[in-house]
Chain A
Amino acid sequence: GAVVSQHPSRVICKSGTSVKIECRSLDFQATTMFWYRQFPKQSLMLMATSNEGSKATYEQGVEKDKFLINHASLTLSTLTVTSAHPEDSSFYICSARGTGPYEQYFGPGTRLTVT
């Protein structure tokens, strides 16, 4: 399958700081990228959908000013958690979609801990 990378894999930051997570599709062009959040032993919660060059579409209840998404190219999307708080601690996973609805591949995830 196609490869999606995510960086960093783990980050610890202090409350009030901002953290940027990068998501790259390495061997295909991603027309659409998705950002998910996952709590322990829970399923994936879709946060937002972004298309290259367009503003992201956020799911209900997700603060767009807190979770800034930039989809600068067909291979790169970034998620910035601004003014992070301990309740933002979670596992964040990006996903990239190619040309078909079933061609959706996930990155390895980023574990964010806010102290």
Chain B
Amino acid sequence: QKEVEQDPGPLSVPEGAIVSLNCTYSNSAFQYFMWYRQYSRKGPELLMYTYSSGNKEDGRFTAQVDKSSKYISLFIRDSQPSDSATYLCAMASGNTPLVFGKGTRLSVIA
């Protein structure tokens, strides 16, 4: 079992839809959870980070962490074509290197 599992998609949704992106993990030591957005041929951009369990909201984006289920989610409300990108979850324990999911390719169709 890989440390972090993420469905690669592709995921295609109409503009305005609510998007749900998810990752599961196996290492219970993970405490820091991040979501990155990567446009084609660009470096990943940090979208949100969460420490331990709980929710965090930033504009149209909401990150959720359920440590009991080892499951994290990123919700995008009112999705826009500009949200079309690959979304990578990442997690770490302490100062260890981030462990990334494979990324989910999202297309928002106008």
A residues lining the B interface (CB < 8 Å): 1, 4, 6, 32, 34, 41-44, 46, 49, 91, 93, 95, 97, 100-102, 104-109, 111
Q: How far is the CA of A4 from the CA of B55 in the complex (A)?
A: 28
Write the chain A residue with the least CB distance to B4: A43
The 8 closest A-B pairs by CB, nearest first: A102-B49, A106-B43, A43-B102, A101-B32, A106-B44, A108-B43, A109-B43, A101-B92
When C-beta atoms are compared, the residue in chain B nearest to A43 turns out to be B102
1/0 per residue B78-109: CB within 8 Å of A? 00000000001000101111101111010000
Distance to closest chain B CB from A12 (angstroms): 15
Q: Is the CB of B43 within 8 A of A6?
A: yes
Q: Is the CB of A104 within 8 A of B88?
A: no
Partner-contacting stretch, out of B12-20, B34-42, B68-76: B34-42
Given A32-B95, A43-B101, A101-B32 in contact, is the A109-B46 Cβ separation under 8 Å?
A: no
Contact (A1, B46) CB under 8 Å given A32-B95, A46-B97, A106-B36? yes
Q: How far, in Å, is B82 (CB) from chain A's closest CB? A: 17
Beyond the given A43-B101, A91-B41, A93-B44, could you list 12 further A-B residue pairs with CB under 8 A, ordered by the A residue number? Answer: A34-B97, A41-B105, A43-B100, A44-B100, A46-B97, A95-B43, A101-B94, A101-B96, A102-B51, A105-B46, A106-B45, A108-B42
